[in-house]
Structure 1
Amino acid sequence: MATGDTMKKYRLDTVLSVTAIIGLSINIALNLYAYLHIDPVSSSPLEEGWWSIWLPSYLVWMSFLTIASFIGVNRKD
C-alpha cells in the first residue's frame, strides 16, 4: 500500500477558503486588539493611517477567498 493511498486529498478551493478565513480572522483580531490596546488612531478604518497599514492585508485575504470561490464554481467533478 502506497503512502499516497492513505492520505486524504483536499481540494484546492477548500484549502484556499480555509486559509483565507483563518487569515481574515487573525487580521480582524489583530486590528481589534490594536484598536483597543495599542493605537486607536492607526487602527480605525476612518483614519488615514489605517489605509496604509491594514487595507493591504484585508485585500490579500479577500483575494484568496475570491480565487477559491472561482475555482470552486468552475470545478467539474
Structure 2
Amino acid sequence: MKIHVYAALKDYFQPEFEVSGLVRNTDELKALLLTLNDKAAGILSACRFAVEEGFIDNAFKLNEYDTVVIIPPSSGG
C-alpha cells in the first residue's frame, strides 16, 4: 500500500512511502503507522484519509494496492 502524507505529517513520516501487512481499514492503518512513529498519535487522530481522490471513512475496505492520502487538519486563512 502506498501512503502519501502532507503538511505536519511530514515531521513524522516521509512524504511518500509504502507499508505492507494486513490493513483492512483506516483504524488498522493508523495502528500500523503508530508502530512506525508513535509520536504521530495526536495528529493522526485528527487526519482525514482519501483513496482515489475521495475521502473515506473506517468502513471503506482498503486493499494492498491502494494509494492512501492522509491529510492533517489545516488552519489559517
TM-score normalised per structure 1: 0.24
State the structure with more CA Rg: 1
User: Could you say which structure has the higher strand fraction?
Assistant: 2
User: Could you say which structure has the higher helix fraction?
Assistant: 1
